Amino acid sequence: MNIGPAGVDDIAEIAALEAEAFPLDPWSPNLLREAVGGLVPTMALLVARSSADGGAADFLGYAVVSVVDVDAELQRIAVPEERRRSGVAGALLAATHAVAGERGATRLLLEVREDNIIARTFYERHGFAELGRRPRYYRDGTTALVLSTPVTMDP
Ligand SMILES: CC(C)(COP(=O)(O)OP(=O)(O)OC[C@H]1O[C@@H](n2cnc3c(N)ncnc32)[C@H](O)[C@@H]1OP(=O)(O)O)[C@@H](O)C(=O)NCCC(=O)NCCS
């Protein structure tokens, strides 16, 4: 697996996964284009692909992190359904920690829907603890949990 900065060629696959994984508030291809084009300097977009052996490398998922001062925020992380449960998100999270650490962040924060049990299990397994709650944070009225973990280059 290779993980690196996303480019314009990744936008179509990321946008398609956005629509599938976050149907209530997907990021548009335009917003993604701005992000990969460097127009949002605090933001880094990482894409995971299979290691290509001559052929085309399969899209395995992506993560978006923004870093402001000592706080990094994991804004997005998603893996296509047929690729889940094989460690891709874990690898993307490790790469996110590395970017956050390089940019001087000391903690990694995120918001997760209270009803997203799979993501909550994933974050718990990766050392995140609850920092607070934001009632009715999402458009459909669901509460957001704010989770945090120290940034480490070796998560
Ligand atoms: C959450 C998500 C990114 C995890 O991706 P993934 O590549 O499947 O995760 P990994 O394979 O690295 O999983 C690592 C661990 O997370 C937990 N986990 C992942 N999927 C799980 C599931 N379906 N049920 C229970 N635990 C699960 C397990 O602890 C798993 O370890 P294990 O496989 O050794 O038991 C993926 O399910 C996804 O894209 N969901 C939709 C988008 C989303 O909700 N993103 C988070 C928004 S806050």
Whole-prediction pTM: 0.96
Taking the C-alpha atoms of residue 30 and residue 39, their distance in angstroms, rounded to an integer, is 11
Residue to substitute in 3, 122, 145 for testing ligand 1 pocket (most ligand atoms within 8 angstroms of CB): 122
The residue whose CA is least distant from atom 17 of ligand 1 is: 122
Structural domain span for residue 128: 2-150
Residue 129 lies in a domain: yes
The tens digit of pLDDT for each residue in 21-67 reads 999 889 999 999 999 998 999 999 999 999 877 667 899 999 999 99
The residue whose CA is least distant from atom 39 of ligand 1 is: 78
Domain total of the chain? 1
The residue whose CA is least distant from atom 1 of ligand 1 is: 119
The tens digit of pLDDT for each residue in 93-120 reads 999 999 999 999 999 999 999 999 999 9
Give backbone dihedrals phi and psi of 140, rounded to 5 degrees, phi first: -90, 10
Residue 155 lies in a domain: no
Can you give the CATH number for the domain in which 83 is found?
3.40.630.30
